[in-house]
A and B are shown apart, each in its own frame.
Chain A
């Protein structure tokens, strides 16, 4: 009978096409992830390292923020920021990528005036700052506060104030945002 024939055909089709792949999935290699942001401040022999490390990415563990020492008043520090992905082996250095795509990225440094003032010392292909290197001129009196480092992807680099480090009109999407508690003395 036609009925049973069709039923048989469909069942065969069902069995043939449904190759249940019960194989183990492959763990995703999160190459794009930023796990570690390190800001180094150098003045003469003094090197201060500010690190934020979050090895579980979007996982529940909060980043571990460490600041290696206190800043000195009225000092000009040469600064550099590096971005690493330590969740993969070998460790991936994302700083180079940001450097290459400088026109699509910008770092912003924000801290109370008492802590100090930041000046960009690098430029992208269009002559706009990236912020991977900078100088920090600390305040003249002792102070405590936070340095907030923000990495924006696709900011409006020509918007008012953005080239001098004002994030207000930058737009874009935040790729990293670290708050380092610091002390100037």
Chain B
């Protein structure tokens, strides 16, 4: 079945399309008659630069109206429409641009070269709505993206059923290195710093890496090219958690010369509340800063950027379990084992995370069609996790990790006639330090990682309505770790014969080992975009992604308190390879548009946790889950529609379905998001201060495809040991939530304006639990939340 789909796909990819015939040529000169070499000529979808004598030729242009755009730095651009009906000669004379301030050209350059994969973009207005929430919450606005949560403030994006190391997050052209392998580690990013967020549901963003088995999240900052200075302040107040946030940013834009941006965000919240009880110890704090300075010269720009993300997040008290009996009690009692009065205080367990990101960028524009970008970035991620511990240990972090990453990226981009080419390389050095002062064996050991990658991507416009793209990438990666293994664990894992070389020392009942792994990976992407007419578009893409085991998959070795399981890594794991075929049909009518995106992702050596038995410790018996590999297949469909019912009324619908199967073991994959549907009705009236009223319904069905990982344990009932079944597999029931959002805009004075928004989440105060929340065994989700947002632009 799968192979058939691929064959059909390949056939489509190489089938030829009729070519248009027209050729346009001409000469670009100054008013004084001097030829302008290297000026940028853009007709229809084709781009060329003029040669040394100012001449250009563009072939294969379609009959009919074509947009013509001619530009040269320092000269006024020409932007016009030309009706082509045969070969034509078009000469342009460019006027020198004396008053640059009047001429503002903001041309949104495509982030990636993926013409074959429809990227999902989230705009600033939407991001601002979520100013008080997390990146994961925003991304849920895209059909096919769901979230994996730990409580209410730790939210990871899930793209088409995959998350964590399989979904890299790129912030401002830097890949976030923030211990993303832990399910309870959310991306370290302040949503207020995002100007635009792009989701690529596949591995085709090859310039960012070849391991995006699930997809990519690309965050771009606010870009101001105009010569202007403006500020924005967003204030949020939320009833649930009795807290809020304030975020202020200042932007100084400039076409030439200096420009800068600065942003500060502060968030504060106490315990969240479920409809029936306080979610004790679910408060959080966040204090973030980011800023950049940029100098734009005639042919280059140079910029420096720094951001600090600083957060403390309380972990639900009830989710700290000592052993399986505690877990069993939580699951059967259906109420949290710890419920205290509301407080702002955050006790243990909690996380304290700091993420520094600093970078330098240099862009050089050879001419309008070719550019080189060089970037150096530095990241320092410090993660402290505090657990409920005895005595003085309470003040010592149970996990203390420092991840330092240096990276250099060099990218070259060139547009020639129908071709766009991008190529480059990146290299990085990473060090992880696990502080032994915790008194607890670290989950992630010390390691050094060196990586090098190089890629080339090309896109080619076969005709005005048909384009193809393809890319390939090579990655080298070497990890050198140092870790103590209990001798008993080393034996139990069966490492004694296979990995004897790794042992370098001995201390008591432990081996000191230095495992080292080297990987050479190839990843690739290819696809096409066909535009049948302006209203019907077809995108298809196939991508090959290769992901190496991450440190938690290699080295995990111990008890996970929130799930009451012992997680074991495996040094014998091999890399995981995914082939994803994704196609999107987009049809637009006058008032209605629809987008359907089916996909199939076949993953060889898919790494996942699987229960394998029990181990007894002094705390009691614990189920043991180990990382194993299997062949998996994820298939599904994302649907989005938009209906402009009338001038005032709009309707949006989104549906996402994914089915995850373990092909080898013939069972379902764990943690696959259930079918979800969202409906949004919006009323807007610009006469009434841009009034917007929105009601949104969110339906999440019960996940019926899940593996049975239940186990039995002995608990004491009436002073006798009785075996009981611990049901950790059955997903929670379906639920429906209703949300409301409203906003109005007011002119205050001068150029400033204010937006007032009032919203209610979970209007009906519904009790529910989410299958993809790590704390679903312990407590309900958040109840109703009233929120007021004030936004000032000045």
Contact = CB atoms under 8 A, between A and B. Distances in A.
Contacts of B448: 20-22
B721 A146 contact: yes
Interface in A74-133: 87, 94, 97-98, 100-101, 104, 110-113
Interface in A1-47: 2-3, 6-7, 9-11, 13-14, 17-18, 20-22, 24-32, 34-37
Closest A-B pairs by Cβ, 10 of them: A174-B322, A10-B376, A173-B322, A177-B620, A60-B492, A59-B486, A62-B616, A171-B337, A26-B436, A174-B323
A48 interface: no
Contact of A21 (B376, B431, B615): B431
A160 interface: no
B200 interface: no
Given A14-B406, A61-B488, A24 B505 contact: yes
Interface stretch (B48-56, B477-485, B594-602): B477-485
A3 B320 contact: no
B658 to A, nearest CB: 35
A178 interface: yes
Interface string B715-744: 010011100000000000000000000000
B337 A172 contact: yes
B489 A60 contact: yes
A124 B571 CA distance: 48
Scoring A13, A20, A152, A173 by chain B CB atoms within 10 A of each residue's CB, the highest score goes to A173
Contact of A22 (B389, B406, B480): B480
Interface in B486-540: 486, 488-489, 491-492, 504-505, 507-510, 512
Contacts of B492: 59-60
A56 interface: yes
A25 B445 contact: yes
Contact of A31 (B376, B429, B439, B446): B439
Contacts of A17: 378, 404, 406
Interface of B: 300, 302, 320-323, 325-326, 337-338, 360, 362, 364, 372, 374, 376, 378, 388-391, 393, 404, 406, 408, 410, 429, 431, 433-434, 436, 438-442, 445-446, 448, 480, 482-484, 486, 488-489, 491-492, 504-505, 507-510, 512, 558-559, 566, 615-620, 714, 716, 719-721
Contacts of B720: 112, 145
A35 B372 CA distance: 60
Nearest to B558: A58
B390 A32 contact: yes
> Which residue among B322, B482, B558 has the maximum number of chain A CB atoms within 10 Å of its CB?
B322
Nearest to A166: B719
Contact of B390 (A55, A56, A153): A153
A101 B766 CA distance: 40
A148 B721 contact: yes
B488 A56 contact: yes
Contact of B364 (A3, A101, A167): A3
23 contacts: A2-B300, A3-B364, A22-B482, A25-B445, A25-B482, A27-B507, A56-B489, A57-B486, A57-B618, A58-B558, A58-B617, A59-B486, A60-B489, A60-B615, A101-B391, A167-B716, A172-B337, A173-B321, A173-B388, A174-B321, A174-B323, A176-B618, A178-B618
Contacts of A27: 436, 484, 507-508, 510, 512
Contact of A18 (B320, B388, B429): B429
Given A58-B566, A110-B716, A30 B441 contact: yes
Given A54-B617, A55-B509, A20 B431 contact: yes
Interface of A: 2-3, 6-7, 9-11, 13-14, 17-18, 20-22, 24-32, 34-37, 52, 54-63, 87, 94, 97-98, 100-101, 104, 110-113, 145-146, 148, 152-154, 167, 171-179
Contacts of A18: 404, 406, 429, 431
Contacts of A153: 322, 388, 390
A54 B616 CA distance: 9
Contacts of B559: 58
A6 B374 contact: yes
A22 B446 CA distance: 9
Contact of A28 (B326, B484, B616, B618): B484
Contact of B408 (A14, A98, A145, A167): A14
B372 A54 contact: no
Contacts of B326: 173-174
B708 to A, nearest CB: 24
A60 B617 CA distance: 8
B636 to A, nearest CB: 38
B621 to A, nearest CB: 9
Nearest to A4: B374
Given A22-B480, A112-B719, 18 more contacts: A6-B360, A13-B376, A17-B378, A17-B404, A20-B429, A22-B482, A24-B512, A27-B436, A28-B441, A28-B484, A30-B440, A32-B389, A59-B492, A87-B508, A145-B720, A148-B716, A153-B390, A154-B338
A135 to B, nearest CB: 17
Nearest to B512: A24
Given A27-B507, A110-B719, A56 B486 contact: yes
A107 to B, nearest CB: 13
B749 to A, nearest CB: 45
Contact of B489 (A59, A111, A146): A59
B378 A175 contact: no
A26 B173 CA distance: 36
Contacts of B442: 28
B433 A21 contact: yes
Contacts of A148: 716, 721
Contacts of A7: 374, 410
B35 to A, nearest CB: 26
Contacts of B438: 28
B408 A11 contact: yes
A26 B434 CA distance: 10
A35 B509 CA distance: 14
A152 B320 CA distance: 12
A15 to B, nearest CB: 9
B751 to A, nearest CB: 38
Contacts of B322: 152-153, 172-175, 177
Contacts of A175: 322, 390, 619
A31 B408 CA distance: 42
A113 B488 contact: no
B376 A14 contact: yes
B695 to A, nearest CB: 40
A37 B484 CA distance: 26
A63 B488 contact: no
Nearest to B380: A17
Contact of A6 (B337, B362, B431): B362
A26 B512 CA distance: 10
A18 B325 CA distance: 46
Contacts of A10: 360, 374, 376, 408
A126 to B, nearest CB: 17
B331 to A, nearest CB: 14
